[in-house]
Chains A and B, each alone.
Chain A
Amino acid sequence: MALRRITAALAALALAGGPALADETCQSPYLPKLAGQEDYVYVWTLGIEGVGDGSDKLVTVRTNPSSPHYGKVVHSLSVGGRHEAHHAGLTDDRQYLWAGGLDDSRIDIFDVGSDPAQPTLWKTITDFEEETGGVVGPHTFYAIPGRMLISSLSNTKDRGGKTALVEYANDGTYIRTIWMPEGAEYGYDVRVNAHLNRMLTSAFTGHENYMRKLSDLLGDADAMKKFGNTVVVWDFHARKPLQTLDVPGAALEIRWALNPIHEYAFTSTALTSKLWGVFRKPDGSFEAVDLIDIGDPAKVPLPVDISLSADDSTLFVSSFMDGTVRVYDVREPRRPKLIHEEKIGSQVNMVSQSWDGKRIYIASSLLASWDGTSGDDPQFLKAFTWDGKTLTPTFEIDFRKEGLGRPHIMRFGQHGLMARAAVTGDARGRDH
């Protein structure tokens, strides 16, 4: 029979509902959470000419310490060509991973549920720009029930920052395009607070900028004006913009607090190097508050990713140009306190943490044309444990030496929740 069978009856509670507040801290609230030990980290990786096959690929890393292959690449699936592989997101049942390319807007959909150890390419969308009416650069892939909500970065008309939100059904069928509102046309991230029926979107820049070398871009005053300065508050159910908040300097990743009584979100601005809070006011509207500088803004550290712990107490911020991760105590969300700062490498980009906050993964690549701006161009995935005070290295993978490319976003997989397991015998006790 086709009904998939898994062991671990207790895992049903994680899948079947319960509080179902969020996933491993920064995922859509509509995903079942992976709260235990992640068995795999899937790394969506940009190809580098002359490194391995030179193509974008999904790299699977074994991350369960009980495995003899802990900290090793156990699977790599090349999609052929370089498409500026960037972000990826799981569907609402964690069966599929949608992974986008910012250059030609290609979307590869991987089946990561049937065998979490060996993802397969299930479907590829190559007509995103045509189907969506001219949207370019699918960025965040955010699961909503039965659908994938996709924020984007650009458009076919002028390759600038005017862009849209797009929805696809889980089977890859296009549903609709919602252009960003007048005065807040740029896009980047999208995040939903289901308890408040509110959605936040942030704003980066268009294809003409993000495909240029960063060093050239920083010296082009006109180009530097073409970055977003807004965060938009939406009625999520109606998909209607309600408020445009002034958040100058390209707000990137957005993280809602996970506890439903915490009615706020964080974001960071890349160009102005600030941490912002977006707080719900007593009248139900929202305000954006400049909370704190991240490093020295004059040195343009370029904060690029943030990761909030499941208990809303700790916020990790990674900044690209100085290769540094900073950790803030945000239990008082309007008064963040820096509690740890550590240089990880000459450049870092994404930072992801496990649900229990004890394991931290950091990847090095931002964009093909921006990597290496600070000097050398190392490409790595580094794993750490976090005890509340110290990051302790556990393993590191050199993505150049392994012939893989530039590691970007990381998503977690687990046998206990997803494996097509025991009854068929082919996956029982599988250990990679």
Chain B
Amino acid sequence: MSHPGRGIACVLLVGSLSVAGIAHEGSPEPPPRARTPGFDAPPPGSYELPPIQRLSPHRLLDERGREAPLLELEPGHLALVSFIYLSCGHACPRTTAVLQGMDRTLAERGLAGRVELVTVSFDPERDTPARMGAHRAALAPRGRWRFLTARDPASIDPVLADFGQDARLLLGPDGEPGPLISHVLKVFLVDSEGAVRNIYSTGFLDPRVILNDLLTLEPVGAAPAPPASAASPS
């Protein structure tokens, strides 16, 4: 067993190397440039979105600090659920920006009444209901977009576990919790039966794909029968 201090220093070095790797340091090629995805989103209804997982009911806090269900969908309605924390400087703002665009698109397409956006903080100690409410107000959504948080960290853990959303508190060099939470950020498309119908990695969050997924499910919303492709080989 090594000395604790040495262990921390070693891990910090690993972190530095990780960043260097992302930047492709020493690569003969320039870093990959951002680009528009090179494909047309498959048209609505041309594919299936079978249920991936079933969610349990969860109660959190709304922007006024009142208990509220995480999902409150009428039959046939859909939700896009994302997890963020307000101190996040990278992936969360990018996700929120995409969802803000979705909010406008849904309003323009007349779908705002049937698709709800839900943004949940996994940092309830800092992201109070008031702060979440202020964040919502700044975004000025045109449709239904709720911002939820929890009473305490212990209350959000079961929600994260149910969705399969990982989150790790990061410690600073002093060994105390810092402001950052690492996570592989995802957005979940959920139907009114509580079934997750698609999961989007924010690295590849494409509004065209999300919209076509909503249009694929929107007429029904509930889970379909098992796909015929599961039958035995002919």
A residues apposed to B, CB below 8 Å:
1-21, 29-30, 32-37, 39, 66, 92-93, 95, 132-134, 145-147, 155-157, 162, 164, 169-171, 173, 175-179, 194-198, 235, 237-240, 258-261, 263, 280, 284, 310-313, 331, 355-356, 414-417, 419, 421-423, 428-431
Closest residue of chain A to B169, judged by CB? A5
B residues apposed to A, CB below 8 Å:
1-8, 10-22, 24, 26-29, 31-33, 35, 37-39, 41-42, 46-48, 50-53, 88, 90-91, 94, 122, 153-154, 157, 160-161, 164, 166-172, 175, 177-178, 180-186, 188, 196, 199-204, 209, 226-227, 229-233
Would A7 and B199 count as touching, CB distance under 8 A? Answer: no
Most buried by B among A6, A14, A15, A415: A15
Distance (Å) between the CB of B83 and the closest chain A CB?
Answer: 12
Complex alpha-carbon distance, A311 and B11, angstroms:
25
Would B175 and A312 count as touching, CB distance under 8 A? Answer: no
Chain B hits for A415, CB < 8 A? 11, 14
- A-B pairs with beta carbons under 8 Å apart, 19 shown: A3-B153, A3-B160, A3-B168, A4-B167, A6-B182, A9-B180, A10-B12, A11-B18, A16-B184, A37-B17, A66-B10, A146-B196, A176-B230, A284-B38, A414-B14, A415-B14, A417-B14, A419-B11, A429-B10
Distance (Å) between the CB of A146 and the closest chain B CB?
Answer: 4
**Partner among A156, A235, A428 whose Cβ is within 8 Å of the Cβ of B8:** A428
Would A15 and B50 count as touching, CB distance under 8 A? Answer: no
**Partner among A14, A194, A259, A313 whose Cβ is within 8 Å of the Cβ of B18:** A14
| A93 and B166 contact, Cβ closer than 8 Å, known pairs A146-B53, A428-B8 | yes
Would B168 and A6 count as touching, CB distance under 8 A? Answer: yes
Closest residue of chain A to B161, judged by CB? A2
Would B90 and A428 count as touching, CB distance under 8 A? Answer: no
Chain B hits for A20, CB < 8 A? 201, 203
Closest residue of chain A to B47, judged by CB? A238
Complex alpha-carbon distance, A133 and B233, angstroms:
8
Complex alpha-carbon distance, A10 and B160, angstroms:
23
Chain A hits for B170, CB < 8 A? 5-9, 11-12
Would B21 and A18 count as touching, CB distance under 8 A? Answer: no
Would A17 and B171 count as touching, CB distance under 8 A? Answer: no
Complex alpha-carbon distance, A15 and B181, angstroms:
10
Would B199 and A146 count as touching, CB distance under 8 A? Answer: yes
Would B17 and A35 count as touching, CB distance under 8 A? Answer: yes
Distance (Å) between the CB of B217 and the closest chain A CB?
Answer: 14
Would B50 and A145 count as touching, CB distance under 8 A? Answer: no
Would B22 and A35 count as touching, CB distance under 8 A? Answer: yes
Distance (Å) between the CB of B116 and the closest chain A CB?
Answer: 20
